């Protein structure tokens, strides 16, 4: 069965950095794109970033562009989200989620359990 | 990009039916059949309930159905049960440098 497991969350000061990981299993990882989606406490879902199956195309929300970098290692079935210059409004549960399509980008199907990022002094 | 528009809350009694709307634009919901719906219980990850406007993933009850008309997609839940009480989010592809957009979410209360 499809499994996505996020890790790397924690407490960081404003301006700091954090690297999230998403370990995948149960499907042919190298054939599917992966999304990161976040949810601030008590708020709705916000799409953050997407990486194509081969890492060739990457997309970012305007709110994180220039600060966050998405990457993947298909040999380790893992996607990363490098988060720099963190702000208090980046505090959220971060989910990685699998895109069900191969050719196009679509909303995700399977989601991980999420990892909490808290940006606070 | 702007979020898709959903009602903040809906409520109904067990056994009744409800419909949640998700209004976008001719650049997202109206242009593509890549609309999904998610159910999220408190403290849990979102769960896919409907994809590609009308399709149900394996294991999702047939009490859940999706449709679309113009720029508005809808999720209908029939025969409401207590466990249906949750937050529901719609999402769509948008031809943009930010290719996925979510709705603001709808809190469903089963009275």
Query: A76 CA to chain B: closest CA distance, Å?
Result: 24
CA–CA dist A90, A83 (Å, integer) = 9
Note whether B46 contacts A45, CB cutoff 8 Å: yes
Per-residue pLDDT, B2: 66
Which pLDDT score is estimated for A7? Answer: 97
- Assess contact for A60 and B98: CB atoms under 8 A: yes
Report chain B residues whose CB lies below 8 A from the CB of A22: none
The mean of the pLDDT values for chain B is 95
What integer is the mean pLDDT of A94-120? 94
Interface check for A110 against chain B (CB to CB < 8 A): the answer is: yes
Q: Cα A106 vs. chain centroid, distance in angstroms?
A: 15
- Whether the predicted pLDDT of A118 surpasses 70: yes
Determine the distance in angstroms separating the CA of B91 from the nearest CA of chain A, rounded to an integer.
6
Where do runs of H (alpha helix) occur along B1-111?
none
Q: How far away is chain B from the Cα of A44, in angstroms, using its nearest Cα?
A: 6
Each as own residue / partner, the long-range contacts of residues B80-85 (CB below 8 Å, 24 or more positions apart, any chain) are B80/B12, B80/B13, B80/B14, B80/B15, B80/B16, B80/B17, B80/B18, B80/B110, B81/B14, B81/B110, B82/B14, B82/B110, B84/B39, B84/B108, B84/B110, B85/B109, B85/B110
A9 at B interface, C-beta within 8 A: no
CB contact under 8 A, B103 and A50: no
Burial of B15 (0-12, 13-18, 19+ CB in 10 A): exposed
Residues B1-16 pLDDT 10s? 568 999 999 999 999 9
pLDDT of A47 over the 90 cut: yes
Q: Give buried/exposed letters for A79-118 (b at 16+ CB in 10 A, else e).
A: bbbebeebeeebbbbbbbbbbbbeeebbbbbbbbebbebe
Q: Which of B44, B100, B101, B103 to mutate to test the interface with A (most CBs of A within 10 A)?
A: B100
When pLDDT is averaged across residues B49-70 and rounded to a whole number, the result is: 97
Return mean pLDDT, chain A.
96
Q: How many CA atoms lie less than 13 Å away from A85 in the CB half-sphere? A: 7
**Rounded to whole angstroms, how far apart are CA atoms A83 and A37?**
13
What is the average pLDDT across B44-59?
97
* Maximum distance among all Cα pairs of chain B, rounded to whole angstroms: 42
Would you state the pLDDT for residue A102?
79
SS3 A30: helix
pLDDT tens digits along A48-96? 999 999 999 999 999 999 999 999 999 999 999 999 999 999 999 999 9
Above 90 in pLDDT, residue B58? yes
Q: What is the pLDDT of residue A97?
A: 97
In terms of DSSP bridges, do strands B72-77 and B64-69 run parallel, antiparallel, or are they unpaired? antiparallel
């Amino acid at each position: 069965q499809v499994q996505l497991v996020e890790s790397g969350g924690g407490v960081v000061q404003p301006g700091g950095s954090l690297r999230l990981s998403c370990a995948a299993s149960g499907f042919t990882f190298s054939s599917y794109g992966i999304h990161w989606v976040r949810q601030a406490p008590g708020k709705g879902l916000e799409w953050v970033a997407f990486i194509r199956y081969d890492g060739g195309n990457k997309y970012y929300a305007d709110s994180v562009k220039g600060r966050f970098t998405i990457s993947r290692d298909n040999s380790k079935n893992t996607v990363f989200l490098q988060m720099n210059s963190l702000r208090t409004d980046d505090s959220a549960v971060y989910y990685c989620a699998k895109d069900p399509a191969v050719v196009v980008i679509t909303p995700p199907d399977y989601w991980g359990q999420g990892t909490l990022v808290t940006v606070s002094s | 990009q702007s979020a898709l528009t959903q009602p903040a809350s809906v409520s109904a009694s067990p056994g009744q039916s409800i419909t949640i709307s998700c209004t976008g634009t001719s650049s997202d919901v109206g242009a593509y059949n890549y609309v999904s719906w998610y159910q999220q219980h408190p403290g849990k990850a979102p769960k896919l309930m409907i994809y590609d406007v009308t399709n149900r993933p394996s294991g999702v009850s047939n009490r859940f159905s999706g449709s679309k008309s113009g720029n508005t997609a809808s999720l209908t839940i029939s025969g409401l049960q207590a466990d249906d009480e949750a937050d529901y989010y719609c999402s769509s592809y948008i031809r943009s440098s930010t290719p996925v957009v979510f709705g603001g979410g709808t809190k469903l209360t089963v009275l």
